[in-house]
Amino acid sequence: MERRWVWSAAGLGLLWLAAGAVGQAQDVVRAGPRKYEGTVARMTPTEVTVSSGGANEVIPVNLIEGITFGDEPPALRSVRSDVAAARYEPALATLEKIDVSQVARAEIRQEIEYYKAVSTARAALAGDGEVAEALKLLAAFQAAYPSNWRLLEISELAGELAVAVGQFAKARESFETLGRTAPWPEYRIRAAVGVAGALLGEKKVDEARKFFEAALTMKGDAAMSEPYRRLATLGKARCLAEAKQHEQALKIADEMIAQADPADVSLLAAAYNVKGIALYKASKTKDALYAFLHVETLYAADSAAHGEALYWLVLVWRDLKNAQRALETQRALEESYPESRFTRELKAAKR
């Protein structure tokens, strides 16, 4: 080991410094209550290997909450905070200022590309930005970095975005990739729910119901899989509504609403939409109106559910012979979610 001798300012002694004591900062992988510090030596879509002191720790991706690279640009930490808080525009602005040519490590360059793709995609899901560009960035990431630890998340996000714009075959392909690649049952539940949602969008109700029911029978970690089981339950209720089993669908939706955490905006928005659809299909149009208005007024933060609620509200207002409110609601849908499949469906119906 190389040694350097440094005189103190007062000239009273000598300090011995070992090389490496002042070396680069370590990478940190956060996985639940544990932190793994060292160097990220290897990544695959299902695990990350951290090397430290000659020993290797292999961490499954489903346990990883995040990775901070020791020598990453400081601006990347700001990006992470913005993305976690759904502030995608400032995140993208910060990313544009990072000079990737000055970033030596491949892992960090991939992290920067990941945040560009995810910020663009999530902004597009919220109605801000172009879906085509977002899908292009996600596909480019998948093609360029097939060993990246974020690949499963990217596949799922690509599926969600494809469903939002009505590209259901592409969505099913993304969710099927997720189900094939992930070794954990919780991810297979997520994949099944995603495939079912795409099939429902294609109006293949019976097939969709089979996938929702399969998701409900799969075993997996309760905490990790419960949010997706709830979505599967609501998806099954949606299928029941389409099959004219309105009372069963309403019972499931009402139970979900009663049991939901008031802060769970996404779940409540989805449940009120299912309730509204079941009521509408049962020709209880005024009752359906109030269900969809719940989403519009209380749960608009969930952009996917909000866009769907606006679509159904247009139909409800038309049935109630309120052409002005129908027109206002359609304009709101078109302005907020111009690339949504629901916007396209209404425009196509006018032709």
Q: What is the pLDDT of residues 278-302, one digit of tens each?
A: 999 999 999 999 999 999 999 999 9
Q: Residue 222 has what pLDDT?
A: 80
Q: Are 317 and 326 in contact (CB under 8 A)?
A: yes
CA torsion sign for 101, 102, 104, 109 is: negative
CA torsion sign for 261, 262, 263, 268 is: positive
Q: Residue 153 has what pLDDT?
A: 96
Residues 6+ apart with CB under 8 A from 270: 231, 234, 302, 305
Please report, for residues 29, 63, 323, the alpha-carbon distance to residue 33 in angstroms, rounded to integers and kept in the order given.
11, 10, 55
Residues 6+ apart with CB under 8 A from 120: 88, 92, 129, 133, 134, 137
- Nearest-angstrom CA–CA distance, 138 and 119: 10
Residues 6+ apart with CB under 8 A from 180: none
Mean pLDDT in consecutive groups of 10 residues from the start of the chain, 351 residues: 34 33 75 95 97 95 95 95 96 96 94 97 90 94 96 96 94 95 94 97 96 93 88 97 96 96 96 98 97 97 95 98 97 94 85 48
Q: Residue 40 has what pLDDT?
A: 97
Q: Residue 350 has what pLDDT?
A: 64
pTM metric for this prediction: 0.86
Please report, for residues 25, 194, 341, the alpha-carbon distance to residue 59 in angstroms, rounded to integers and kept in the order given.
20, 26, 39
Half-sphere exposure of 223 (CA within 13 A, CB side): 3
Q: Are 241 and 281 in contact (CB under 8 A)?
A: yes
Q: What is the pLDDT of residues 103-146, one digit of tens each?
A: 999 999 999 999 999 999 999 998 888 888 999 999 999 999 99
Q: What is the pLDDT of residues 246-271, one digit of tens each?
A: 999 999 999 999 999 999 999 999 99
Q: Residue 223 has what pLDDT?
A: 82
Q: Are 343 and 337 in contact (CB under 8 A)?
A: yes
